[in-house]
Amino acid sequence: MRNINFFISSIFTLLIISSCTNLNQPYDIVDGYMFVQKEDRRNENTDWELVWEEEFNTGTLDTSHWTRIGLFTSPQWKLPVERWQEHLGCFRYITATDPRVVTFDEDNIYLKGMVNEDTINGDPRPYLTGGIYTWDKFAFQYGRIEIRAKLEPAHGAWPAIWMLSEKQIYPDQHNGEMDIMERLNHEDSAYQTTHNHWTITYKQQEPQRYAKAPIKPDDYNVYSVSWYPDKLVYAINGITSYEYPKLNGAGTFQWPFDQPFYLFLDQQLEGSWPGKITNPEELPIDMIVDWVRLYQ
């Protein structure tokens, strides 16, 4: 009986400790993988705490948090590789099957854009690119996400760091997109943009939906968005580029950003925005990512 009582007492003590630890965390874990910031911390007066990080220093992809992107394999796009020409956007060349486009050294992940030298026997696309995302494995709602990356340029290159809604809880409307970084060609700046039903379907230009800010073009830069219940604050190297506010009365068309989002890191080539690969000799190029950090 004494052993049983001691066992019950020990379990009760562990539950109390665990409960207290959870109370001290700035987030709740939802569905086992989504970091939802606690309501009493959703303001600018609360100190940020580092709650998750990816250092890319193990030499392999942590598949508990990341998945290599294949052609149209996210929940928003589903087409076989043979139909890649039907899509005019940025996912035309991303592959999950070629090991050359996602590689590592001791400190970084390399997401490559390269000429495909075998379009007859293998993948039919003229270029191949690498990308990873956290869909169905890691997502968060509110907080500041930071990514340190170096972007090698080429004419027609379009590397991107961006986020989409994990669950798409609003039917029949765009559920929002945060573009934390997009760089075109050889530009010495990067774009940071907010998309939603308000901007895409209704073509509304107010409030300001994007900004272009300078980067160190040949070095690493830190790209971030700080996400509050009432605004998004984008920054590069700690300098704010612009803020996107929640408008009173505009509804979910303008502010679908009240649900968890997941993260993309991908090298992209061509598309309507950067244009065609005009100098193939510039390839291969790499999008080199040092780390990802989430604060809440």
The answer, yes or no, to whether residue 17 has pLDDT greater than 50, is no
**pTM of structure:** 0.89
User: Of 22-36, 91-105, 173-187, which has the strongest mean pLDDT?
Assistant: 173-187
Least confident range from 37-46, 254-263, 272-281: namely 37-46
Residue 186 lies inside a defined structural domain of this protein: yes
Least confident range from 91-95, 114-118, 215-219: namely 91-95
Residue 19: per-residue pLDDT: 36
Q: Could you tell me the residue range of the domain that residue 157 belongs to?
A: 29-295
- pLDDT tens profile 42-86: 988 889 999 999 999 999 999 999 999 986 555 555 556 666 666
Where does the chain show beta strands of DSSP type E?
27-30, 34-37, 50-54, 67-68, 102-104, 109-115, 127-129, 131-133, 139-141, 143-151, 160-165, 177-182, 189-195, 210-214, 221-228, 231-236, 239-245, 261-266, 285-295
Between 9 and 120, the more confident residue is: 120
Give the confidence band of 152 by pLDDT, cuts at 50, 70, 90: very high
Give the confidence band of 92 by pLDDT, cuts at 50, 70, 90: confident
Residue 19 lies inside a defined structural domain of this protein: no
268 vs 114, 151, 153, 239, CA distance in Å?
10, 11, 11, 26
Count the alpha carbons within 13 Å of 71 in the hemisphere toward its beta carbon.
21
Residue 275 lies inside a defined structural domain of this protein: yes
CB of 205 within 8 A of CB of 196? no
Map tokens 């590069």 to a residue: 236
Residue 228: per-residue pLDDT: 97
Those residues whose C-beta lies under 8 Å from the C-beta of residue 39, and which sit 6 or more positions away, are none
The answer, yes or no, to whether residue 12 has pLDDT greater than 60, is no
Give the confidence band of 11 by pLDDT, cuts at 50, 70, 90: very low
- Give the chain's domain count: 1
The answer, yes or no, to whether residue 262 has pLDDT greater than 60, is yes
Helix residue spans in the chain (DSSP H): 2-24, 197-200
Residue 18 lies inside a defined structural domain of this protein: no
Span 217-225, mean pLDDT?
A: 98
74 vs 46, 67, 133, 197, 276, CA distance in Å?
34, 10, 9, 20, 24
Residue 272: per-residue pLDDT: 86
- pLDDT tens profile 154-201: 999 999 999 999 999 999 999 999 999 999 999 999 999 999 999 999
Residue 179 three-state SS: strand
Between 189 and 22, the more confident residue is: 189
Domain containing residue 235: CATH number: 2.60.120.200
Residue 16 lies inside a defined structural domain of this protein: no
Span 31-36, mean pLDDT?
A: 98
* Largest Cα–Cα separation, the chain: 80
Distance of CA 208 to the CA centre of its chain: 21
Residue 234 lies inside a defined structural domain of this protein: yes
Residue 13 lies inside a defined structural domain of this protein: no
Q: Mean pLDDT across the chain, nearest whole number?
A: 89
Residue 37 lies inside a defined structural domain of this protein: yes
